[in-house]
C-alpha cells in the first residue's frame, strides 16, 4: 500500500492518504489541495505537494526499543563474558533492517511509504535540511 502522510498546511493536523495516479491529492480532514499526484514513477522526480526535488530516506525504527535491546546486552555481559554484546547488536541490526524505509521530502516534510523506487536515497543531510528550514 502506498501512502503519503504529512502535516496539512491548512488545518495543521497529521493526515495520511492513499494517492491515485493523475488525481489531485486532498487533505481528508479539511479538503485543502496538497497538489497533483501524477504517477508512481514521477513521485520522486518532484514532490507532488511542493515540487521539491530532494528527498531523504529515514527508518520507522523505534529508537527506544533499540536502546532497550542494547541495554539487555550490556546487563548480561558479566554472565556471557561479553558475548551478549555482539549478539544483541546483531539482533538490533536485524530489526533495523526489517523496518521499511520511509522517504521524506526535504521541503514540506511529506512522508512516502510503500513506494518502490530505483533511486538510492541518502539519509538526512543536515546542510541540505538547513536550506529548507525556512519552508517548515
Ligand atoms: Zn487539512
Ligand atoms: Zn514536498
- For residue 113, the CA-to-ligand 1 centroid distance in Å is 19
Q: Terminal CA-to-CA distance of the chain, rounded, Å?
A: 27
- For residue 14, the CA-to-ligand 1 centroid distance in Å is 8
Show the cell assigned to 92: 538490533
Question: How do residues 103-128 score in pLDDT, each as one tens digit?
Answer: 999 999 999 999 877 788 999 999 99
Which residues have beta carbons under 5 A from ligand 2 (an ion)? Answer: 47, 49-50, 52, 105, 107-108, 110
Q: Are 88 and 95 in contact (CB under 8 A)?
A: no
Indicate which ligand has the atom closest to the C-alpha of 51.
2
Q: Are 36 and 50 in contact (CB under 8 A)?
A: no
pTM value? 0.77
Amino acid at each position: 500500500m502506498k501512502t503519503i502522510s504529512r502535516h496539512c498546511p491548512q488545518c495543521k493536523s497529521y493526515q495520511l492518504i492513499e494517492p491515485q495516479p493523475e488525481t489531485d491529492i486532498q487533505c481528508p480532514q479539511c479538503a485543502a489541495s496538497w497538489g497533483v499526484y501524477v504517477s508512481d514513477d514521477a513521485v520522486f522526480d518532484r514532490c507532488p505537494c511542493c515540487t521539491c526535488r530532494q528527498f531523504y530516506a529515514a527508518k520507522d525504527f523505534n529508537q527506544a526499543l533499540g536502546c532497550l535491546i542494547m541495554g539487555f546486552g550490556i546487563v548480561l555481559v558479566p554472565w556471557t563474558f561479553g558475548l551478549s554484546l555482539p549478539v544483541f547488536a546483531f539482533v538490533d541490526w536485524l530489526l533495523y533492517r526489517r523496518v521499511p524505509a520511509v522517504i521524506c521530502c526535504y521541503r514540506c516534510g511529506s512522508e512516502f511509504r510503500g513506494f518502490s523506487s530505483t533511486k538510492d536515497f541518502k539519509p538526512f543531510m543536515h546542510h541540505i535540511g538547513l536550506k529548507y528550514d525556512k519552508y517548515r
